[in-house]
Amino acid sequence: MLPDCSCLNNFLSSRRNFLKCAAVAGAGLLTADAFVLEPNHPILDRVPLTLPRLPERFDGLTIAHLSDFHYDTYFSVYPIAAAVRMVNELQPDIVVLTGDFVTMPVLRHKHMDRDAARASQPCAEILRGLRSRLGVYAVLGNHDEAADPDLISDGLTAAGIRVLRNQAVPLERDGSRIWIAGVGDVLLLQALPEKALLGIPRDEFVLMLAHEPDFADYLAKLPVDLQLSGHSHGGQIRIPLLGAPWLPDLGRKYPYGWYRIGKLQLYTNRGIGTIRMPARWNCPPEVTLSTLRRG
């Protein structure tokens, strides 16, 4: 007896239709995750860091770290505000911001774009809400430097944020001292780390803010203990087993997380905002809380 081919064909057709519907539904869920859910919900990464040159009086110092805001009226307002609320709930000792408050539409070598730079004003107003015991410190990123670094720096300063442009400031506690230093943007040839370190005794602890993480290979040759960076966004899109399809210059070697380069320790934050497209997948925006330990 021959099998009923019409029943078999109906079964196969139903199975194909089911798989097509499942594929469409899966693609819809993935799109919703990448464009709606993940980009708008920063997550907290707690990072303990053991540093041999940290003075005993600063053991337990907490640092909240945000980066790469790329302020946009539609796509980044919510995650920036959410990140500020998260930081304030943590009650950190210090807050650091490692650049790219704005986005340049076309990123060439340094050229002024005041329209792009003005986006730093509403961004600074949101960041004005950050609270910490010992201050909020920032450096500029390559987008900031290419747009209008003075305008952006002035806006952040007016919001109570100390912008370090190849400078360092001391923090003192019970007779002990550490330094927070910051360099100008590396890609735009504004980084002068030797100038930032000028006058700091070589045996004192230095935390360096630098937008591009791969600059660590150079800073590892200097008396710097810890570098905090952003720039890479972690890739924004990270495919399991393959990683990020695209990473920026000077953000490819150390794209996210913790690294040790000689005696230097580096942490790269995945950032808050997005560029190229307003999507993240397998790479959520990040609020980092580092706790420094002497050891």
Strands, DSSP E only, in the chain? 43-51, 62-66, 94-97, 136-138, 162-163, 167-173, 176-182, 205-209, 226-229, 257-261, 264-268, 286-294
Non-local (6+) Cβ contacts of 223 within 8 A are 197, 200, 202, 206
pLDDT tops 70 at residue 196? yes
C-alpha span between 156 and 161 (Å, rounded): 5
| 15 falls within a domain | no
Residue 25 lies in a domain: no
Average pLDDT of every residue of the chain: 88
Q: Is the residue at 229 inside a domain?
A: yes
Mean pLDDT of 6-11: 53
Q: Is the pLDDT score of 249 beyond 70?
A: yes
Q: How confident is the model at residue 181 (pLDDT cuts 50, 70, 90)?
A: very high
More confident residue, 115 or 43: 43
Residue owning tokens 């869920």: 29
* 126 belongs to a structural domain: yes
Kindly state the DSSP code that residue 113 receives in the 8-state scheme: -
The pair of structure tokens assigned to 90 is 């943590």
C-alpha closest to that of 255 among 240, 245, 290, 76: 245
Q: Which amino acid is located at 58 in the chain?
A: F
Using DSSP, state whether 234 is helix, strand or coil. helix
> 124 with 161: CB under 8 angstroms?
yes
Count structural domains, the chain. 1
Better-predicted residue by pLDDT, 38 or 21: 38
What mean pLDDT comes out for the span 226-235?
Answer: 97
Buried b (16+ CB within 10 A) or exposed e, 227-240: bbbbbbbbbbbbee
For residue 13, tell me if it sits in a domain: no
pLDDT in tens, 47-68: 999 999 999 999 999 999 999 9
The answer to the question of residue 22 being in a domain is no
Residue 254 lies in a domain: yes
> What is the three-class DSSP state of 33?
helix
CATH number at residue 264: 3.60.21.10
Q: What is the pLDDT of residues 70-87, one digit of tens each?
A: 998 888 899 999 999 999
Q: Quick check: is 233 in a domain?
A: yes
Contact 50, 265 (CB under 8 A): no
Token digits of residue 238:
């990270």
pLDDT at 27: 37
What does the pLDDT average to over 9-38?
Answer: 46
Q: Which of 235, 224, 152 is nearest to 188 (CA)?
A: 152
Q: Which domain holds residue 281?
A: 41-294
